[in-house]
Copies of this chain bind each other. A is one copy, B any other.
Amino acid sequence: MKGIVDPSRAVGSSLFGGAFSFPVMVANRDALEHNIATLAGFAADHGLLLAPHAKTTMSPELVRAQLEAGAWGLAVATPSQALTLREFGVSRVLIANQVFDPAGLDAIAAQLDQDPSFEFLCFADSVAGVETLSRHAGGRPFQVLVELGHEGGRAGCRTLSDFLEVATAAQEASGVELVGVAGYEGGLGNAQEVRAYLGRLVEALEHLRVRDPILSVGGSQWFDVIGRELATCQARVVLRSGAYVSHDDGYYRERTPYNRIEGELRAALEVWAYVLSVPEPGLAVVGFGKRDAPFDEGLPVPKGAVEGATVLKVQDQHAILRLTPDSTVKPGDLVSFGISHPCTAFDKWRVIPVVDDDHTVVDLITTYF
């Protein structure tokens, strides 16, 4: 198992005590617990329901902790992920996406029929999407949020009239129950654009004849604006933040709402690896790469003994560093890196040691991608 040589003595030992092989990615327990509690608190304080996006971690241990902290449900991106969450024992799952996958829908419909406590929601932004859902529904309907997008955005109806056409189709189709409106504000560039878009979502919601409707919005970058703007909205507002669980030292560190409001999230993930080679003065080759750490929204962030070094590039299994002029880093040094973009970090590991601040391993979390 990548990162773990001896699972039998992994928990309770030091990360550096011989049970672990390097590179390894670890998660700091206090940071995870702090982050889960912090966003649960934020949601409660602002009257929001939290459906953490489980695609970030796909980890039963973290999903359980999120539910214990009061999450309303969990969001995912695909039927496959929804079915995996069912195996984790999750009873309310929102696919924050259009769904066309027949086998996935059939399996979800079967679960709805088998388990009366299972609640399932997904998006539609086309009549074709509604019709597909209708075709695969079982005895209990698929609950549907019609997605309203924005120009330059991803999916979602671009106009109110398109939105209403899909909503009408959802209200008329058998096997489908219209329950509200969905949007995704994560691609917008500033708070003013987010406010304008949230206003359009609220306007769209007002056109629906739905009892106790849901308004679901995304991400991890604008929940402060969402909390303020939607506080008086006549709907259950469901927030789908995902990356907050581990936070990071790069992309989300720069973009978290906690740069604007009181509070903080803490970067939980670190990758540890050996310096394999210093083939030229100032150049270090470190034994981790694209397989081990995200590289798509910022490169790994050197910490500790390599703080201040520049990651020149990452290859499949190597990171190439330009060291600082005063660096004494040499082959055989064990060094650490923060990461940027949690969603492409967890999926590189099947087991992640959870450590305390002394790097004693206190637990293992698993992932199912």
Contact = CB atoms under 8 A, between A and B. Distances in A.
Name, among A318, A330, A332, the residue most crowded by chain B CB atoms within 10 Å (CB to CB): A332
Contact of A103 (B6, B55, B347): B6
B276 A98 contact: yes
Given A5-B107, A154-B285, A21 B280 contact: no
Contacts of A37: none
A277 B125 contact: yes
Contacts of A149: 279
A66 interface: no
B348 A126 contact: no
A156 interface: yes
Q: Which 9 A-B pairs have the closest CB atoms?
A: A155-B277, A77-B317, A98-B276, A100-B274, A5-B103, A21-B104, A126-B331, A128-B331, A155-B285
A160 interface: no
B18 A316 contact: no
Copy number of this protein in the oligomer? 2
A3 B295 CA distance: 25
Given A80-B3, A98-B331, A158 B279 contact: yes
Given A149-B279, A277-B125, A332-B129, A317 B156 contact: no
10 contacts: A1-B80, A19-B103, A21-B83, A77-B316, A97-B287, A126-B278, A158-B279, A295-B296, A316-B343, A348-B369
A72 interface: no
A279 B155 contact: yes
A313 B21 CA distance: 35
Contacts of A5: 80, 83, 103-104, 106-107
A1 B87 CA distance: 10
A52 interface: no
A141 interface: no
Nearest to A151: B280
Contact of A347 (B99, B296, B348): B348
